[in-house]
Structure 1
């Protein structure tokens, strides 16, 4: 884009902002005078992305198509997110401009079969998903689950900011240093799921993420209860 076009765009944006503010002030004055101002009703909107922001411009909610997954809000700016699948939906952002949860969906049919996914997630502060509710279908194999985890209190944002601009080897060293100096990426504590093998399970885990108690109904319908020791070895089984 040429400098002339950029300048014209900046002028147009400034004019739009002033016009919008003038309209807001006029409507506020009318309401204070007792005049009822009807909201503008639009029958249909076609958009790729909607950003909901605070009065100061801080991003709070994103409603977007599958390109939404390419970036993640972090402390008021958008950062490339190479590890995320391209899913459409809602992205929630905390008061400081950092992602804190999402509701996303995707589905398609390819030469290898059909696939469908959906997730509702809640993040700990500047951390990963502490609570997940989701499903994943790949062909005839389906998983559906409710899961929560204990997460460390160090900041993923700090780590990602430190990795920016580094080559792969240097970035890997930063990541390993963060993981080594803290309690890893967290531990799943409870999972209630319809697993890919057709079983339904409730698994309770200790702070290390080790299975300690399992309630299992396999696909054949014969239920069992497993109590495990600290090393994950079953010490009690019902039925025996």
Structure 2
């Protein structure tokens, strides 16, 4: 009987101890979930910033693990992209980013702002080639993109042309899209061109340069008004 009472006491003590340990464990676990963590230094290949519901908002990544992009919450096919930041909106679309890199042939950094449902309409960019014909351009660029031809449609169009593997048919298809006003046109550049001109270069809705206001590499000033064929209007 005494032995049985002793075993019951040991069992009670064990149960109490186990209960206390479990309570402490849950308290510490809850505390870790609700408190901020601080790190002096961290090495990471990719960070995904998400909302509480799991919606992806931003990716910080190296080149190998960079996100391929999103449209309507659907990931694009795997593709090579540079290291940097990629932003996503609550509609599940990529909406801009910052990428950069350099190698033996050149260097570059680009900050892009994307139009809703499609690709970039504004970029702050720097590009430099280091070959025999070394050149450097940098500045702000603006584009026009149609509202009725979203990025998903453009990707399907390009994929279908790749399957055809017919350069002549591809050229005709792109020409038809341009006639329909479904292709992107550059409209504005403010910065330094590869030939050393620094100024404003404004294009019409078809991507043709119509106005130049710049200082050339010899410090000569220019204001040029051009017609649809690129000829100077006196």
Bin of the TM-score, shorter chain as denominator length: 0.7 to 0.9
**Is 1:131–1:148's contact at 8 Å kept on the other side of the alignment?**
yes
Question: For 1:136, which of 123, 127, 138 is the aligned residue?
Answer: 127
Label 1:216 to 1:60 Cα distance change in 2 as closer, same or farther (>3 A).
Answer: same
Which residue does 1:97 correspond to in 2? 92
Verify: 1:209 aligned to 2:207, yes or no. Answer: yes
Label 1:58 to 1:171 Cα distance change in 2 as closer, same or farther (>3 A).
Answer: farther
Which residue does 1:235 correspond to in 2? 233
Moved more, 222-231 or 130-139: 222-231
| TM-score between the two structures when normalised by the length of structure 1 | 0.72
Verify: 1:123 aligned to 2:127, yes or no. Answer: no
Which residue does 1:58 correspond to in 2? 55
Per-residue Cα deviation, 1:101-145 (whole angstroms, up to 9, x for no partner): 011110122xxxx41100000111121210011001111421102
More strand by share: 1
Give the Cα–Cα distance (whole angstroms) in 1 for the partners of residues 76 and 28 of structure 2: 32
Question: For 1:197, which of 169, 182, 195 is the aligned residue?
Answer: 195
Moved more, 47-56 or 158-167: 158-167
Give the Cα–Cα distance (whole angstroms) in 2 for the partners of residues 233 and 120 of structure 1: 33
What are structure 2's unaligned runs of at least 5 residues?
1-25
1:67 Cα shift? 2.5
Which residue does 1:9 correspond to in 2? none
Per-residue Cα deviation, 1:52-107 (whole angstroms, up to 9, x for no partner): 1222222110100012557122222321254x6x3111001111221110111101
The alignment's C-alpha RMSD in Å is 3.3
Structure 1 segments (4+ residues) deviating >4 Å: 22-25, 161-167, 170-175
**Is 1:119–1:134's contact at 8 Å kept on the other side of the alignment?**
yes
Give the Cα–Cα distance (whole angstroms) in 2 for the partners of residues 119 and 194 of structure 1: 15
Which residue does 1:16 correspond to in 2? none
Give the Cα–Cα distance (whole angstroms) in 2 for the partners of residues 123 and 134 of structure 1: 14
Which residue does 1:219 correspond to in 2? 217
**Is 1:163–1:171's contact at 8 Å kept on the other side of the alignment?**
no
